[in-house]
Chains A and B, each alone.
Chain A
Amino acid sequence: MHELRPWLTLIFQRRRRLFVGALLLLATFISGIALLGLSGWFLTETALVGLMFAAGIQAYINLYVPGSGIRFFAVSRTVARYFERLYNHNTVLRLLTDIRVTLFNRMAVAGHRDRGRKTGAHWLSRLTADVDALDTLYLRLVAPAALAAVVALMVVVLAWILFSLQIALVLLALLALAFVMATWSVYRRTRELAGQLNDRQEHLRSEVIEHLEGFAELTASGRTGKHASRLIRHSLTLSKEQAVVDAQVGWHLALTQFLINLSSVVALWAGFELFQSGVLSGPVLVLLPIVLMGLGEVYAMLPDAFGKLGATVSAAKRLNEDILPAPAGSVSGILSATSDHSELALTATDITVGHPGSAPILNHFSIEIKAGERLGIVGASGSGKSSLADTFAGVIPPISGNITALPCAYLTQTTVVFEDTVKANLLLGNPEASDAELWRVLELVELADRFAREATGLDTWLGSGGNRLSGGEARRLVLARVLLSNAPLLILDEPFTGVDSETRDRIAPHIDHWLEGRAVISLGHGPEALLPSGHTLHLN
């Protein structure tokens, strides 16, 4: 459970909102219970007075107070419910934002290496699911559980005042047992399975993806049917296990409701002794059991929420592992800058390139690149050129050796287009750039016409992951973004991936010209994939 602590701390930063929301929820619960309780009291009172009237006995009954009380609670229940839903929904949406922004900020200060290689689509979808699991923490778990406890205690105090301490204590015991049943007990019984279900489902997901990716081979070997029935078997097992959790929750809910109804019966039974000894009036005797039955609604949402707590805790655990470790050092894009007037743009001395914990990719690598020099690096896929580029740019530190470099702009091998406008995407490269400069750099990569045709020009929305662009267009856009930077050193990893050869041949000389006087390291799988270079290294 301690896994939830950082998230609960985050949620409780909005203490006042949570408090107001809880008060509204409390008002809703109390109105509902009071409406029924007061009505029951009123009926018994009128029945008794009615009997006296019938017997010709003079009696007095105040109809005004209970009548208006009943009307008041009927309205307050509706109104409180409406505003409670509205207010708490607003709170939840704020918390959604808080959680995401905080997560992002923590990930942003942690270096690339701390994130490890967790960047694949699989990891991202899991991250989404985990964050979603935390969204329910307040409205489904914290608030209802706290309020169920508060309302139950209020009812116990009411029993003490109206009935006796003894009865109040018995009720306290029953209601406390029901509370444990609806919360801790459900959690304990489902914790393990609920926590695993998520993992199992993710495992099945990757199996299905593999099935689809290998569909041609499986079809050729005549094994799609066999393989698919295995997947269906796995999914059926998963359904059955989910059913076990659901059934557990169901039993706990039934038991909780039983205990609450039982407390109502106990209150009535014990109350009769007091009634017959004259300590208690008939209407008051009826009031408490009805109020107790009303508690059922307050407790009803707990078992389901606590049945999912196991999954929430394991989601929190994964998030904590992913992003909470103290940041070792931030990525600034450069390791240690040499002075701006230096003759050398980059110096690498006897560096070993690789990812910690696995075999080094390059050993004893040294290089000096002068300001304004052009260097090409050619290597096959898997030869380590992207790791070398990462190391030059300071994304991953060298395992050993030293690198000093001027501030650099780095075009990564993967094309990253943000779900935003053309302008916002380009301005990342140089936040001070004017619109004219943006158009100029778009011209350079032959994208200016493409966006000039759009009615919104630079404000054209690029869609999720830039899906409104073709692969080649997206590559040229991110290339333009790097070209916009004023850094004296550029590192371009596969600058022309997905760009057809004719376009590439047209734009490469222009880019070369634009970058005159700046040092450029371009990396690619063959010489044709590079910018024109002074000399070229071949990696093996």
Chain B
Amino acid sequence: MSSPAQSDVRHWLSGLARNSRRWVQATVWAGVLVGLATIIQMVLLAWIVYLGVIEEQPVSSLTPCFLALILVLVVRAVGQALQSRFAARCSEQVRKHVRLQLHEHWQSLGPVALSDASSASLTREWLDHVEALHGYFARFLPQMMLSVIVPLAILALVFWLDWLAGIFLLLSAPLIPLFMALVGMGAEKVNQQHFETVSRLSGQFLDKVRGLTTLQLFGQTEQASETLYKRSDQFRLITMKTLKIAFLSSAVLEFFASVAIAVIAIYIGFGLLGYITFGPSSELTLFSGLLILLLAPEFFQPLRTLSQHYHDRAAALGASAEILARLSQPATGSGRPAKLPQTVYDNTVNLNGVSLSYGDGPAVFNNIFLTFKRGETIVLTGPSGGGKSSLLHLLAGFINPDTGCISVFGQSPGAAPFGWLGQKGFWIQGSWADNLRMTSPDASDAAIEAALRKVGLADLLDSREQGINSRIGEDGQGLSGGQARRLSLARIFLADYDLILLDEPTAGLDATSEICILDALHKLSEAGKTLILSTHHQALFTLADRVLVVSDGEVQNA
């Protein structure tokens, strides 16, 4: 997987924003409401002080102002609460949409290409990386807009009150994009560095925990603990070096905010004393002066909040890059499924001039023609790497041929449900019934029990108190490889599939499981199912109507 360009990632993110525009807009509106309420709060506060201290009005006449002030505080609080309420839902649709997109991609890749990536990392993408998008849509994006709107509103008011003070603020306004870049660079660095340190630390820690038994067996736990400590301390020292620089950028923002407040306070103070003989300062009153002072920190506040949310952006960009890399991973077996001319029901499985190669590698198959009849049992054998699995994957529709076409009883491969038994077999945490209902959701209890008995799991089932409703891993041991494969075979018994594909059904199994599976396959064959299986096992050859040798891109009768 190559990592996509930064610009592509940003483009993709802004494309996603369309999915939740309503909530983002609502969040911004609520934020604007909070901003306006804050401005009015400061206006009323300065006005009350002016009336009381300068005009020396009695407290009783100030009551309406105080009540209005409290009302504004209520509006501000409600706005604030609404803002976080809306923000909480900003990315709901985005997350759902991306998860759907990822899943559709999994489907288009098919099981074979999908198994190239570990299920843990695919799960992390689907779950954690998608979750990391939330902060960007809920916090960063709305705050980005607010950090333009609210300062502009304040600036306009300050200009109206005293244009010289307005110019002080305005002088820092062109610096705002610069601040944003500075803060961004700093915050990104901090975030990245911190993330790296924590993950390296976790890596070291997990590495030791994973191998703890080994360390104990060699009596080396104390040394390992010392190494862990030393490595962690090294990480800390390296990280601190970077942070010394990275924190400077946010210090610059803090510095400008502080200096702006100090300069404005001193300018207004001198203006009120009448020491400043030019400009608008002769018109300054305690009302306008105090208001400008109170608004100055609010002018910088949205930017400071934005810098706190910067790590959300960095996290979302990182996560998006990985998601995007996954989404742009092309399906292997590049050919498109050839549309069959018409869907005619027939009783054969046909491969017509099929060729297949992986990437630029040599051809796995070159123009092969095969026909299997319904109800036949076909055994594919041959050296490993000869193409047995590829042939099964083609018949399953997991991969598509480069040229030629395949039809399974008149339909394209994979169009109708079929039975599949891979080399591993799998089971989920849950009861025996849950496991079988994964592929046959409507199966009755009796049918499930019968299917489990047919694959020789009767003894195991009888030893459990709750029968098919007892949990599989109840004794904490789970299933052995052979048992898991028999469980998977039981799923096939439960559903009524016409075609059953099996990849090395008995490889690496103990004798009991081997006999059970042989017996079960015999039953399926008797029931008139079409079985196509790959194997090295002589015992399975006895089932076959035809044995084919798959080797070097050729398929021949044995």
- A contact residues vs B (CB 8 Å cutoff): 35-36, 39-40, 42-51, 53-54, 61, 63, 66-67, 70-71, 73-75, 77-78, 81-82, 85-86, 89-90, 93-94, 96-97, 100-101, 103-105, 107-109, 112, 115, 117, 119, 121, 124-125, 127-128, 131-132, 135, 201, 204-210, 212-228, 231-232, 235-236, 239-240, 242-244, 246-247, 249-251, 253-255, 257-258, 261-262, 264-265, 268-269, 272-273, 275-276, 282, 285-286, 289-290, 330-333, 355, 357-359, 380-383, 393, 395, 409-410, 412, 416-420, 424, 428-429, 431, 464-465, 485, 525
Decide if B374 is an interface residue (CB 8 Å cutoff).
Answer: no
Residue among B115, B214, B251, B510 with the highest chain A CB neighbour number at 10 A: B214
Determine which of A46, A75, A97, A419 lies in contact with B232 in the assembled complex, contact meaning CB atoms within 8 Å: A97
Residues from chain A with a CB closer than 8 A to the CB of B353 are none
A215→B240 contact, CB < 8 A: no
Given contacts A201-B127, A216-B422, A276-B58, contact A104 B224 (CB under 8 A): yes
B269→A43 contact, CB < 8 A: yes
Q: A97-B201, A104-B224, A205-B123 known; 15 other A-B pairs, CB under 8 Å? A: A48-B53, A53-B274, A61-B273, A121-B120, A127-B209, A128-B205, A210-B429, A227-B438, A231-B103, A239-B95, A246-B88, A254-B81, A262-B70, A381-B481, A382-B483
Residues from chain B with a CB closer than 8 A to the CB of A74 are 258-259, 261-262
Decide if B163 is an interface residue (CB 8 Å cutoff).
Answer: no
A101→B217 contact, CB < 8 A: no
A39→B262 contact, CB < 8 A: yes
B49→A268 contact, CB < 8 A: yes
A258→B76 contact, CB < 8 A: yes
Task: Write the chain A residue with the least CB distance to B42.
Answer: A293
Decide if B335 is an interface residue (CB 8 Å cutoff).
Answer: no
Decide if B198 is an interface residue (CB 8 Å cutoff).
Answer: yes
A39→B417 contact, CB < 8 A: no
B19 to chain A, nearest CB (A): 13
Decide if B254 is an interface residue (CB 8 Å cutoff).
Answer: yes
Give the CA-CA distance A134 to B19 in the complex, in Å. 35
A380→B511 contact, CB < 8 A: yes
B96→A96 contact, CB < 8 A: no
Give the CA-CA distance A220 to B61 in the complex, in Å. 81
A220→B420 contact, CB < 8 A: yes
Given contacts A70-B262, A247-B85, contact A393 B426 (CB under 8 A): no
B87→A214 contact, CB < 8 A: no
Determine which of A77, A82, A418 lies in contact with B247 in the assembled complex, contact meaning CB atoms within 8 Å: A82
Residue among B223, B250, B261 with the highest chain A CB neighbour number at 10 A: B261
Residues from chain B with a CB closer than 8 A to the CB of A39 are 261-262, 264-265, 293
B225→A235 contact, CB < 8 A: no
Stretch at the interface among B1-9, B151-159, B472-480: B472-480
19 sampled A-B residue pairs with Cβ under 8 A? A35-B262, A42-B265, A43-B272, A78-B255, A82-B247, A100-B202, A109-B221, A124-B209, A132-B202, A220-B414, A251-B84, A262-B70, A269-B59, A269-B66, A272-B62, A380-B480, A416-B210, A416-B214, A428-B218
- B contact residues vs A (CB 8 Å cutoff): 41, 45, 48-49, 52-54, 56, 58-59, 62, 66, 69-70, 73-74, 76-78, 80-81, 83-85, 87-89, 91-92, 95-96, 99-100, 103, 106-107, 110-111, 114-115, 119-120, 122-123, 126-127, 130, 134, 138, 197-198, 201-225, 227-229, 232-233, 235-236, 239-240, 243-244, 247-248, 250-251, 254-255, 258-259, 261-262, 264-266, 268-270, 272-274, 285-286, 289-290, 293-294, 297, 396, 398, 414, 416-420, 422, 424, 426, 428-429, 438-441, 475-477, 480-483, 488, 491, 495, 501, 508-512
B550 to chain A, nearest CB (A): 20
Residues from chain A with a CB closer than 8 A to the CB of B480 are 380-382
A44→B204 contact, CB < 8 A: no
B396→A220 contact, CB < 8 A: yes
Given contacts A78-B254, A257-B80, A258-B74, contact A71 B262 (CB under 8 A): yes
Give the CA-CA distance A207 to B126 in the complex, in Å. 12
Give the CA-CA distance A305 to B194 in the complex, in Å. 19
Given contacts A96-B198, A210-B426, contact A243 B92 (CB under 8 A): yes
Residues from chain A with a CB closer than 8 A to the CB of B255 are 78
B59→A250 contact, CB < 8 A: no
Determine which of B52, B80, B123, B270 lies in contact with A212 in the assembled complex, contact meaning CB atoms within 8 Å: B123
Residues from chain B with a CB closer than 8 A to the CB of A219 are 107, 110-111, 396, 398, 414, 420
A332→B251 contact, CB < 8 A: no
A94→B84 contact, CB < 8 A: no
Residues from chain A with a CB closer than 8 A to the CB of B438 are 214, 217-218, 223, 227
Residues from chain A with a CB closer than 8 A to the CB of B270 are 46
Residues from chain A with a CB closer than 8 A to the CB of B227 are 420, 424
B234 to chain A, nearest CB (A): 10
Task: Write the chain A residue with the least CB distance to B305.
Answer: A300
The 10 nearest A-B residue pairs measured at CB:
A250-B84, A380-B510, A382-B480, A220-B420, A39-B265, A246-B88, A47-B286, A97-B232, A243-B88, A216-B111
A96→B232 contact, CB < 8 A: yes
Residues from chain B with a CB closer than 8 A to the CB of A239 are 91-92, 95-96
B205→A100 contact, CB < 8 A: yes
A205→B127 contact, CB < 8 A: yes
A93→B239 contact, CB < 8 A: yes
B50 to chain A, nearest CB (A): 9
Residues from chain A with a CB closer than 8 A to the CB of B232 are 96-97, 100-101
B381 to chain A, nearest CB (A): 19
Give the CA-CA distance A485 to B235 in the complex, in Å. 32
A178 to chain B, nearest CB (A): 12
A131→B202 contact, CB < 8 A: yes
A108 to chain B, nearest CB (A): 4
B26 to chain A, nearest CB (A): 13
Q: Label chain B's interface by main secondary structure.
A: helix
Determine which of B114, B223, B510 lies in contact with A215 in the assembled complex, contact meaning CB atoms within 8 Å: B114
A246→B87 contact, CB < 8 A: yes
B429→A333 contact, CB < 8 A: no
B495→A221 contact, CB < 8 A: yes
Residues from chain B with a CB closer than 8 A to the CB of A115 are 212
Give the CA-CA distance A330 to B48 in the complex, in Å. 73
Give the CA-CA distance A416 to B201 in the complex, in Å. 19
Task: Write the chain A residue with the least CB distance to B56.
Answer: A276
A215→B92 contact, CB < 8 A: no
Give the CA-CA distance A357 to B111 in the complex, in Å. 38
Give the CA-CA distance A205 to B110 in the complex, in Å. 21
Task: Write the chain B residue with the least CB distance to A201.
Answer: B127
Task: Write the chain B residue with the least CB distance to A265.
Answer: B69
A36→B297 contact, CB < 8 A: yes
Residues from chain A with a CB closer than 8 A to the CB of B491 are 217, 221
Give the CA-CA distance A244 to B88 in the complex, in Å. 8
A90 to chain B, nearest CB (A): 6
A36→B87 contact, CB < 8 A: no
Residues from chain A with a CB closer than 8 A to the CB of B236 are 90, 93-94, 97
Determine which of A53, A90, A232 lies in contact with B273 in the assembled complex, contact meaning CB atoms within 8 Å: A53
Give the CA-CA distance A341 to B214 in the complex, in Å. 27
B205→A131 contact, CB < 8 A: yes
Residues from chain B with a CB closer than 8 A to the CB of A395 are 213, 217
Residues from chain B with a CB closer than 8 A to the CB of A485 are 218
A412→B77 contact, CB < 8 A: no
Task: Write the chain B residue with the least CB distance to A285.
Answer: B53
Give the CA-CA distance A272 to B236 in the complex, in Å. 53
Residues from chain A with a CB closer than 8 A to the CB of B85 are 246-247, 250-251
Determine which of B52, B73, B274, B420 lies in contact with A275 in the assembled complex, contact meaning CB atoms within 8 Å: B52
Task: Write the chain B residue with the least CB distance to A54.
Answer: B274
Residue among A40, A90, A223, A226 with the highest chain B CB neighbour number at 10 A: A40
Give the CA-CA distance A112 to B491 in the complex, in Å. 36
Determine which of A224, A243, A255 lies in contact with B107 in the assembled complex, contact meaning CB atoms within 8 Å: A224
Residues from chain B with a CB closer than 8 A to the CB of A258 are 73-74, 76-77
Residues from chain B with a CB closer than 8 A to the CB of A235 are 95-96, 99, 127, 130
Give the CA-CA distance A381 to B425 in the complex, in Å. 15
A97→B123 contact, CB < 8 A: no
